[in-house]
Amino acid sequence: MAWRNDGYDELLFTSLLWIPIFVTLFVFVIDKVSGLFRPNKDKNKRKKFEIYLDTMAKELEEEHDFLVEDFRKLKESDRFQKGLKQAYQILENGETDSLNFAYIIKKYPKQSLEYKAMMTVIDRTKKYMKKQTKET
């Protein structure tokens, strides 16, 4: 009703429609420009960790006759996922008093699926650590 009675200014109305578009574009451009100056260190760490996870998954598949259900259980197990992250930290930083392979394996009951999988992960991680020290 107000539109027909000249209650709204068309210029004001159309300019209000463009404001969200310009704000979005401005934020996008600022994010891209600031991304050029930020180091890609986090992306590289994440990529290395994903490569490590893929390698360990292949090793587990070759070493054990796990079913798809077993892999799903391992994926859903917070304890196993935390152990994988800790094993990767040991691979990257070396063993410390507070974080070592013995500490990781203590968390699992000896007959569990997680124990078998974590033993394989630890063995393979130790081999990769030896291989890295030989290369350097």
Q: Give per-residue pLDDT as tens, 49-61.
A: 889 888 888 888 8
How high is the pLDDT of residue 28?
94
Provide the whole-model pTM. Answer: 0.64
75 in Cβ contact with 81 (< 8 Å) = yes
**Positions in the chain whose pLDDT score sits under 50:** 1
Give the pLDDT score at 27: 94
Same domain (yes/no): 15, 46: no
User: Domain range holding 65?
Assistant: 41-135
| Statement to judge: residues 76 and 125 lie in one domain | yes
The angle at the Cα of 70, spanning 67 to 75, to the nearest 5 degrees, equals 130
Residues 30 and 72 both lie in one domain: no
Q: Which residues have a Cβ under 8 Å from the Cβ of 22 and sit 6 or more positions away?
A: none
pLDDT at 7: 65
| Contacts within 8 Å (CB) and 24+ apart, 10-13 | none
